[in-house]
């Protein structure tokens, strides 16, 4: 082992799938080159406190897995139990739910001294609308009629608005990092950056207040893809959407698509510790609109046009269909409808 990476990547993948009349969802995660696995993820097709709503989340931990795991287990509960949620204000519930969850860790004797933190990109689907809450640089993107629809914006310290807040709270940005340390300007946890007692939680150097995007879901919506920056550091939104659509057009299962995306983003080596050397987590939520998964795949196939360069190398790995190459490394499971992975 060398630095923060292993001499060989851990390529075993934990993959799962769930389905109801509205969605078919696949997920997969892989430790990769990192010494430990710090990601967590959640897919819940019917929330216990609101069975009409679905929830998906990807949490990319840093400094340890504890905060990411805690978020995967509990963040959605804080959102749904907010008064704003009961009053139909999903945007307000997501914003206040993130903040309340973060504050709850400060009051928890098992979490208050935790030095770790995590990103959080969450998707709540209710009443034919999608609400995406985000802190950090995990990302969600939708595809509707073949068009890429970004649902989140990365929070980086070198963003002018983020940098202004950091400096007002007594911090600085160096090497595109908060105080030369943290590469995110918003996160859950990371309490060492939230200790200015003269300022509100949403005014600290690092804040847990999410941006929330919302859109109406129409019949041409095909899927939503959520992933950590282990994916997005390697491929663009458009490349990821193309990667998924190509495989949906040949009836590939969602969890297999997630596996192949991770494989294509994995670096062939990590001598420089660069792109493709991170933990990787992907959730692919496909919209069925009350029809079958085959119907969705056929609809995409009917409108799909391969790109001019279909075998674009992705970080050293050629994007090929490679059916059947995910064998003993995979740990696939048919999960319950409500599944949390830590």
Give the tens place of pLDDT for each residue, 105-133.
988 888 878 889 999 999 999 999 999 99
- Three-state DSSP class for 9? strand
Helices (H), the chain: 66-80, 83-86, 90-107, 160-168, 229-232, 237-248, 254-265, 293-303
Give the tens place of pLDDT for each residue, 203-258.
999 999 999 999 999 999 999 999 999 999 999 999 999 999 999 999 999 999 99
Predicted pLDDT of residue 176: 94
Predicted pLDDT of residue 340: 59
- Taking CA 99 as the corner, what is the angle to CA 74 and CA 205, rounded to the nearest 5 degrees? 125
Predicted pLDDT of residue 310: 52
CATH superfamily of 5-149+216-341: PPM-type phosphatase domain (3.60.40.10)
Domain extents in the chain: 5-149+216-341
Please tell me the least confidently modeled range out of 37-46, 158-167, 302-311, 331-340: 331-340
Q: In angstroms, rounded to a whole number, what is the distance separating the alpha carbons of residues 135 and 256?
A: 27
Predicted pLDDT of residue 328: 41
264 and 317 in contact (C-beta within 8 Å)? yes
Is it the case that residue 59 has pLDDT exceeding 60? yes
pTM of the predicted model as reported, rounded to 2 decimal places: 0.91
Predicted pLDDT of residue 110: 84
Predicted pLDDT of residue 61: 97
Predicted pLDDT of residue 200: 96
């Amino acid at each position: 082992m060398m630095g923060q990476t292993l001499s060989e990547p851990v390529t075993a993948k934990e993959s799962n799938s769930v389905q109801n009349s509205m969605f078919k969802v696949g997920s997969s995660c892989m430790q990769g080159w990192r010494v430990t696995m710090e990601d967590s993820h959640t897919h819940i097709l019917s929330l216990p406190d609101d069975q009409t709503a679905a929830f998906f989340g990807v949490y990319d931990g840093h400094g340890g897995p504890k905060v990411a795991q805690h978020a995967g287990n509990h963040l959605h509960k804080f959102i749904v139990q907010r008064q704003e949620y009961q009053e139909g204000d999903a945007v307000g519930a997501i914003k206040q739910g993130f903040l309340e969850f973060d504050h709850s860790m400060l009051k928890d004797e098992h979490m208050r001294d935790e030095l770790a933190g995590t990103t959080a990109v969450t998707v709540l689907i209710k009443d034919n609308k999608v609400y995406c809450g985000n802190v950090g640089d995990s990302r969600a993107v939708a595809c509707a009629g073949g068009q890429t629809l970004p649902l989140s914006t990365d929070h980086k310290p070198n963003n002018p608005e983020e940098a202004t807040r950091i400096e007002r709270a007594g911090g600085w940005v160096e090497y595109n990092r908060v105080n030369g340390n943290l590469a995110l300007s918003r996160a859950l946890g990371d309490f060492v950056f939230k200790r200015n007692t003269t300022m509100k939680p949403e005014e600290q150097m690092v804040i847990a207040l999410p941006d929330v995007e919302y859109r109406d879901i129409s019949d041409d919506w095909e899927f939503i893809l959520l992933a950590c920056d282990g994916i997005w550091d390697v491929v663009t939104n458009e490349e990821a959407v193309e990667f998924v659509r190509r495989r949906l057009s040949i009836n590939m299962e969602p969890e297999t698509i997630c596996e192949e995306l991770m494989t294509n983003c994995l670096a062939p080596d990590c001598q420089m510790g660069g792109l493709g050397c991170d933990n990787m987590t992907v959730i692919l939520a496909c919209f069925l609109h009350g029809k079958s998964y085959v119907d969705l795949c056929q609809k995409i196939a009917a409108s799909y046009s391969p790109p001019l360069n279909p075998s674009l190398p992705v970080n050293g790995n050629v994007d090929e269909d490679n059916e059947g190459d995910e064998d003993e490394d995979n740990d696939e499971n048919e999960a319950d409808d409500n599944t949390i992975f830590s």
